[in-house]
A and B are shown apart, each in its own frame.
Chain A
Amino acid sequence: MNDTLLISIVTFIYFFAAFAFLVSIIFHKRSVGKGALILIVAGVTLQTSAIIIRWVHSYHLGIGHAPLSNFYESLVFFSWSIIFVYLIMRKRYRNDLFGILSSFFAFLILAYVSLSGDLNCTIQPLIPALQSNWLISHVISSFLAYACFAISFGTSILYLLKIKVKVTMLPDALFLDEVTYQMISIGFILLTLGIMTGAAWADRAWGRYWGWDPKETWSLITWLIYGAFLHAHLARGWRGVKMSLVAIIGFIAVIFTYLGVNYVLAGLHSYL
């Protein structure tokens, strides 16, 4: 089975999951929410299979490597990471809104993958610089961090809607605030790990762990913004609108670290 076809199917599944969660919230139908969860599990199973199929297929082509090496593969893995974080944290939050956010983000990313014409989804051989044991740990920790930040971005937007636009349907503002904080604190640790594995890799590849390359610098900018967020939250007890804005700015920095550097700025990291 072709892995890109599977990904197209998964795109639809995530869309319907998000829709089912929405129905469950609006009409207070818990059973629909359960159905949405089943959809998500089915979707993530298919998506995991697609990733594995692609991995195995690359070995059949004689250029075997983990499917984490170009823009297409990174987007697929990004959406997978969001669902993965959702499934891990689901029990803790027990709120369908968390489900909507995750499945909707995962859907958006995959929809972009499917609709964007110029995305190269063929399996390409790995250039020498990417042939490293650090590739997998670096990419996984970075994208799990991005996934946590994506969810915190969603909850901060909802927080602002709740407070500023007074959308009553949304859950308690305190709950949203708490999820934002928890996702950022986990994301922050994963981002730290991502930066550290990246530094170790850079040291092997270029002989220096840090070179102020734009991608490196932007990852540091992201780290600093979320670091400021955590200090303000933990030590100063700041909450509310101000903090939601910091979380939103933090996610803009994430997007810039992920994409902007490749499209706007030139650097060593322009693989994807």
Chain B
Amino acid sequence: MITSMIHKLQTVFSSIRLTIFLFLSLAATSVLGTIVQQGLPMERYKAFYSPGVFSALKFFNIFDMYHSWWFTTLLVLLSINIIVCTFKQIPRIIRLIFPEKKGVDDTIFRSAQIRKTFQSQQKLSDLERQSETLIKALVGNPAKTVKDDATYFFAEKGRYSRLGMPFVHISILLVLVGGLLGTMLGFNGQMNIVEGGKSDTVTLFGGKGLQKLGFDIRCDDFTVEFYKTGMPKEYKTDLTILDNEKEVASGIMRVNHPFLYKGLKFCQATYGIAGGSGFLIGARNSKTGEETVLRPNLMKKVPLPDGNAFFAVARFVTDLGGRGPAVLGVLLEPGKEHDIFWIFRDGRNNNQQQKGGFVFTLKDFSRLYYTGIQVSKDPGVFLVWIGFCLIMVGFILNLFFTHKRVWVRITGEKGTYECSIAASASKNRGPFEEKLEQLFRKITVE
């Protein structure tokens, strides 16, 4: 009972029909995840779909379908399928690659893919020489065996090409295992750090919460270069790793050139303007019209010309009410309350900017950037790379090499020798057979 069940399971899992079914099911269901955007916050889906559709999609975990139970099940079934099929093939492949020291086997002359026979009245030595030439031309130097009045020749080439497909299949398993390890033990998320700032917390993708790193990352500097068109050309971040406030590592992270630390990968993903740091503020004397340029940094006061008043920038916003960048200016006059007011780039018709006998305008500011870092940890990634390399090795073995074998048997007596040829090729049989045919004709005509 149990053995028959096992047998049945074995039959199911060793079937290529199952492989084809799983491939096509994975393909068909994967389409869904490219139509329904993955990993958004639930509220977004709730707002988009009707309640019925929403709960149906949620039930089948369509919002994160590539990690759902049923998609994982398909992948597990595929893995079992690969394992069972590979194990089933292994004995045959071992036999092909490491043939038992034979023992000439006469059955091959009845069962091989390609078989030829002819009678000859030639001398045995001539026949042998011709057979050797034929085998040499097809695959390589043959080995000669004599047994019971019969002479045998055999040669083969490219038997390791048989390893190609098992290599590919086992490597695909490696990639799947690597992927599984990565999903279970790794994480992937983003952190934004303002220049000069530091952080130890990663916001994980797909609404999976926060991840503490156990150390701080400080953004020492962020620089971005632009093309003439205004497109970014290159951006990079100077990073320092702080462990308990102690600097333990530092480096540069550029796009396509991640920074690595303790098995974590920090990739330069995005950037943005977090604010302004240094400012150029024009202060025009309302009476004389004379303009002075002030250079305050954020929260640092500078003296105003001719007088004992001071000016400072308290806040910066990249866009205030659609009117562009603005700073919150503070006027400090002795014996008076602080005067606080917004200053825009454009000073015209703005009484607000007229304070203490000066008209203030925001002339320029140096941007304070934040750097967007994608942080990832993936302990399975090395298995994936090994898998990738082996897949290619397998494909190359399989594509560029063919296992070719040729057997020749000469039997009979002087004057009536019978010469039998058997041959096989693991692929591209057409050209191989054609070549054999040509050589065969040459012998028989002679």
In the complex, what residues of B have CB within 8 A of residue A131's CB?
Answer: 234, 255-256
Pick the residue among A189, A205, A221, A266 that contacts B267 (CB under 8 A): A205
Task: Please determine whether B258 and A224 come into contact, CB atoms closer than 8 angstroms.
Answer: no
- Taking CB atoms, residues of chain A closer than 8 Å to B31 are 221
Residue B188 CB within 8 A of the other chain = yes
Residue among A129, A218, A228, A231 with the highest chain B CB neighbour number at 10 A: A228
Assess whether B256 is in contact with A132, with CB atoms less than 8 Å apart.
yes
B window 370-397: CB within 8 A of A = 374-376, 378, 381, 384-385, 388, 391-392, 395
**Closest residue to A265 on the B side, CB-wise?**
B34
Q: Cβ of B267 and Cβ of A206 under 8 Å apart?
A: yes
Contact B35 A265 (CB under 8 A): yes
A129 touches B255 (CB 8 A): yes
CA distance A204 to B374 in the complex (A): 11
A193 contacts B392, CB within 8 Å?
A: yes
8 Å CB contact of A206 from B26, B269, B395: B269
CA–CA, A211 and B234, complex, Å: 24
Is A196's CB within 8 Å of the partner chain B? yes
How far is A232 from B391 in the complex, measured between Cα atoms in Å?
Answer: 20
A-chain residues with CB within 8 Å of residue B16 when the two chains form the complex? 231-232, 235-236
Which residues on the A side are within 8 Å of B188 (C-beta)?
207-208, 211
Taking a contact as CB atoms under 8 Å apart, the answer to whether A228 and B23 are in contact is yes
A214 touches B19 (CB 8 A): no
Instruction: Contact check, B38 vs A208: say whether CB atoms are below 8 A apart.
Output: no
User: Is B232's beta carbon under 8 Å from chain A?
Assistant: yes
Chain B's interface size range is 35 or more
Assess the B267–A125 pair: CB atoms within 8 A: no
Q: Quick check: is A19 within 8 A (CB to CB) of the other chain? A: no
B341 at the interface (CB under 8 A from A): no
Say how far A137's CB is from chain B's closest CB, in angstroms: 12
Contact, CB under 8 Å: B267 / A225: no
* A228-B27 CB under 8 A given contacts A203-B381, A205-B256: yes
Q: B109 interface residue, CB < 8 Å from A?
A: no
Task: Specify the chain B residue showing the minimal Cβ separation from A204.
Answer: B256
The residues in B between 4 and 52 inclusive whose CB is less than 8 angstroms from any CB of A are 16-17, 19-20, 23-24, 26-27, 30-31, 33-35, 37-38
> If A125-B227, A128-B234, A128-B235 touch, does A204 touch B257 (CB 8 Å cutoff)?
yes
A266 nearest in chain B by CB position: B37
A210 touching B179 in the complex, CB below 8 Å, given contacts A128-B255, A205-B255, A205-B256: yes
Closest A-B pairs by Cβ, 5 of them = A207-B376, A128-B255, A224-B27, A228-B23, A235-B16
Which residue numbers of A lie inside 8 Å of B, CB to CB? 63, 124-125, 127-129, 131-132, 185-186, 189, 192-193, 196, 199-201, 203-212, 214, 217-218, 220-221, 224-225, 227-228, 231-232, 235-236, 253, 261, 265-266
Residues of B within 8 A of A (CB): 16-17, 19-20, 23-24, 26-27, 30-31, 33-35, 37-38, 66, 179, 182, 188, 227, 229, 231-235, 254-258, 265-269, 374-376, 378, 381, 384-385, 388, 391-392, 395, 399
